[in-house]
Amino acid sequence: MNISGRFWTWFWLAVIGLPLVVFVVWANLTNPRQFVSTLLNGVTLAALYFLVASGFTLVFGLMRNVNLAHGSLFLLGAYIGWVVGDATDNWFLAIAAGFASAALVGFLLQVSVFRFMQGQELRQTMVTIGISIVLADLMLWCFGGEIYSFDPPRAIFQTMPMVVVGKYPAYRLVVLGIAIAVGLVLWLFLNRTKVGMMIRAGVDDRQMLAASGVNVQRVFAITFAIGAGLAGLAGVIGGTALSISPGEDTRYLMASLVVVIVGGMGSIPGAAVGALLIGLAEQFGLSYAPTYGVVFTFLIMVLVLAFRPTGILGRRST
């Protein structure tokens, strides 16, 4: 059994890996510049996806709540951040406002709605769908269909020298840095603080956590606020990298869904792996096969679901 298992591992590695190696060699020989810039774009897009998806997966992991209003929280954070940034001319305040506003909305939602339907997963999901429809329309009402863009500090919004490609926008690397920082902070928070410990315990066994005297509702509210806040934070950062307009909520909801399905539901490292895969697939797809770009994303999802239904780093739910 061991030998045949190893055989199949090598078989699939060859089937998937060989074409990849051939592609990488071919792309580097023909046009290294395009390859490297696509690679950089892919990694920085992955950073953005990780920011959005980490909140989604955090909430899902603890509460089994598929928050389909996550995209709306992303857009809400972006709009509020834009208003604050516009009023104060301070981009860092805009980020803080994006995080705080989305976190507040998330907290209110958990406290006033979701805590009353604990365990009814399907109903919670339906409610998040309803909320996303209402929020999307309210935001369209308030902010209209225009495209908003941020005004970040000059220092981080210029080009910088880079190997092979020559020049590269510094802001994209800033996004990468922020994502790594957020990932580290989340890791420290989950592994080194008391609340983080409770959250991890809750992911493993909610009933046991409640039985050992922890106020589970408070842990839930904190987690939901952090998850929603991460969406809002990503809203400002993503809105600065690209722009904010109605419809972006769907795009990032889709991104977090696919990232979380691929990476493993409820797992933060899984979100990082999934984001990297999807970000790279999307950028390489756009660069080398423009009209079929989304097919690669879809293919990755199909492959992962076919071989590891719980995602690459996911575990069976308890």
Q: Which residues bind other proteins (CB under 8 A)?
A: 64, 66, 68, 113, 117-123, 125-127, 129-131, 133-134, 136-138, 140-141, 250, 254, 257-258, 260-261, 265, 290-295, 297-298, 301-302, 305-306, 309-310
CB closer to other proteins, 5 vs 119: 119
How many Cβ atoms from other residues are within 10 Å of residue 308's Cβ?
13
CB closer to other proteins, 188 vs 305: 305
- Enumerate residues 6+ apart whose C-beta is below 8 A from 186: 54, 58, 268
Shortest spacing between CB 173 and other proteins, in angstroms: 27
What is the Cα–Cα distance from 14 to 192, expressed in whole angstroms?
Answer: 40
Using alpha carbons only, give the angle 47, 250, 220 rounded to the nearest 5 degrees.
70
CB closer to other proteins, 241 vs 304: 304
CB closer to other proteins, 197 vs 294: 294
Shortest spacing between CB 105 and other proteins, in angstroms: 15
CB closer to other proteins, 165 vs 294: 294
Shortest spacing between CB 54 and other proteins, in angstroms: 16
Contacts 24+ apart (CB under 8 A), 173-182: 173/44, 175/44, 175/47, 175/48, 175/51, 175/237, 175/241, 176/43, 176/44, 176/47, 178/47, 178/51, 178/237, 179/46, 179/47, 179/48, 179/50, 179/51, 180/47, 182/50, 182/51, 182/54, 182/230, 182/233
What is the Cα–Cα distance from 24 to 30, expressed in whole angstroms?
Answer: 10
CB closer to other proteins, 21 vs 303: 303
What is the Cα–Cα distance from 56 to 68, expressed in whole angstroms?
Answer: 9
CB closer to other proteins, 33 vs 308: 308
What is the Cα–Cα distance from 1 to 7, expressed in whole angstroms?
Answer: 10
Shortest spacing between CB 58 and other proteins, in angstroms: 15
Shortest spacing between CB 161 and other proteins, in angstroms: 33
Shortest spacing between CB 130 and other proteins, in angstroms: 4
What is the Cα–Cα distance from 82 to 149, expressed in whole angstroms?
Answer: 8
Shortest spacing between CB 137 and other proteins, in angstroms: 4
Cα distances from 130 to residues 77, 119, 126, 200, 266, in angstroms, run 19, 18, 6, 29, 23
The residue with tokens 């590695």 is: 13
CB closer to other proteins, 36 vs 281: 281
Shortest spacing between CB 168 and other proteins, in angstroms: 26
Name which of 248, 51, 48 is nearest 149 in CA terms: 248
